[in-house]
């Protein structure tokens, strides 16, 4: 199979390239990234032939779509992973990559007559479901209005609905929980913690962990998620799939990893106000909408992925979190930052 991966140098893309490097079914991989490597990169990035393309570029849609269609020509599947979280204060720029960029990928795939498109959606696309009742893929995907990330994920779900209605493209949507791996430590810290949080303090040395009351999370290990992407591609499945590691991550689980089990329950309103002030002061890299989304995200029912993809995650959500925390403390990072535009 020939597979094109858009956004192949990020957190999930790195894990997927590792998976494809071990897979005789996938015989050709093209990696699309905003910054292409100037020279042959190290493993796992060397499994791909690289093409530079900024899907959110300030350029005519036709120009970007035509470029993507040229890259996609002859592919058996396109996997779309590209997504922008920063700069969080530039709403127009985020939307240009996340929503307009996805529209360009879809139209490029249609124009190139690619038979199968696999798109990275998210638990963040779902409408609020604050309790612990697991929700399957039929739960509404109207998002959380105060979260720009969630609004964009919901918009992508809607544009995929419209593409499916045209009937020319088989589309799979993978909706994972938080995605973690050791090698994404620098990326996760940059996106969510910012420069004011010393990375090594997360190595079990936080004096006390403030935890918003009632917050619970799910997470999935990036390599486990890559297995699901591989199965979605090879099986050419259609529709949505929830993906999360076993278990629910709660305050005591996190405190056991970062603060010697020292935990302080904090009212949600107080936590939200603190995040809002920090974000407006540009001391915190993400805004309060992320907390709103986390507080209201549904617990994912992953039965469909287990049944139709034969997906069996090897790490629990707590184990995935531990992996990324050790990566943050160690300053671990993927090769993504050195991928510079050619000639620079």
pLDDT of the residue at 341: 37
Tokens of 272: 């939200």
pLDDT given at position 319: 97
Res. 342: pLDDT tops 70 = no
User: How many whole angstroms separate alpha carbon 237 and alpha carbon 158?
Assistant: 19
Average confidence (pLDDT) over 278-297: 96
pLDDT digits (tens, 9 = 90+) for 166-209: 988 999 999 999 999 998 888 898 888 877 666 656 667 789 99
pLDDT of residue 300: 98
Q: What is the C-alpha separation between 278 and 77, in angstroms, rounded?
A: 42
In the numeric block, which tokens belong to residue 170? 């088989």
For residue 310, which phi and psi values (nearest 5 degrees)?
55, 45
- Cα 302 to chain centroid distance, Å, stands at 17
**Cβ distance 159 to 99 under 8 Å?**
yes
pLDDT at 333: 76
Report pLDDT digits (tens) over 111-164: 999 999 999 999 999 999 989 999 999 999 999 999 999 999 999 999 999 999
pTM of the model: 0.94
Question: What is the secondary structure of 16-76 as a DSSP string?
Answer: HHHHHHT-SS--EEEEEESS--SSPPPTTGGGEEEEE--TT-SS-HHHHHHHHHHHHTT-S
Instruction: From residue 257, give the alpha-carbon distance in Å to each of 106, 233, 311, 319, 325.
Output: 41, 35, 27, 10, 8
Per-residue confidence (pLDDT) for residue 337, from 0 to 100: 45
Average per-residue pLDDT for the chain: 93
Pairing of strands 116-120, 134-135: unpaired
pLDDT of 202: 66
Per-residue model confidence as pLDDT tens digits over 243-254: 999 999 999 999
Please tell me which residue, 36 or 69, carries the higher pLDDT value.
69
């Amino acid at each position: 199979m020939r597979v094109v991966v858009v956004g192949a140098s990020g957190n999930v893309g790195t894990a997927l390239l590792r998976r494809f490097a071990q897979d005789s079914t996938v015989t050709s991989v093209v990696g699309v990234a905003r910054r292409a490597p100037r020279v042959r990169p190290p493993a796992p990035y060397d499994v791909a032939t690289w093409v530079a393309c900024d899907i959110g570029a300030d350029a005519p849609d036709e120009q970007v779509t035509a470029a993507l269609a040229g890259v996609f020509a002859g592919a058996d599947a396109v996997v779309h992973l590209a997504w922008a979280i920063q700069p969080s204060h530039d709403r127009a720029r985020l939307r240009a990559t996340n929503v307009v960029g996805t529209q360009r990928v879809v139209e490029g795939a249609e124009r190139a007559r690619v038979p199968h498109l696999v798109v990275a959606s998210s638990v963040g696309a779902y409408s609020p479901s604050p309790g612990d009742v697991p929700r399957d893929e039929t739960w509404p995907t109207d998002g959380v209005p105060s979260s720009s990330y969630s609004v964009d994920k919901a918009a992508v779900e809607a544009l995929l609905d419209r593409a499916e209605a045209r009937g020319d493209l088989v589309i799979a949507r993978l909706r994972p929980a938080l995605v973690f791996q050791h090698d994404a430590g620098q990326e996760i810290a940059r996106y969510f913690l910012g420069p004011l949080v010393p990375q090594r303090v997360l190595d079990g040395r936080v004096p006390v962990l403030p935890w918003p009351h009632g917050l619970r999370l799910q997470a999935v290990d990036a390599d486990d998620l890559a297995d699901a992407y591989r199965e979605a591609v090879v099986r050419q499945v259609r529709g949505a799939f929830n993906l999360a590691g076993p278990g629910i991550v709660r305050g005591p689980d996190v405190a056991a990893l970062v603060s010697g089990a020292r935990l302080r329950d904090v009212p949600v309103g107080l936590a939200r106000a603190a995040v809002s002030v920090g974000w407006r002061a540009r001391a915190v890299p993400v805004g309060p909408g992320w907390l709103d989304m986390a507080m209201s995200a549904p617990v994912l029912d992953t039965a469909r992925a287990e049944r139709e993809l034969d997906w069996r995650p090897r790490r629990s959500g707590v184990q995935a979190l531990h992996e990324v925390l050790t990566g943050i403390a160690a300053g671990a990072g993927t090769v993504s930052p050195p991928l510079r535009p050619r000639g620079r």
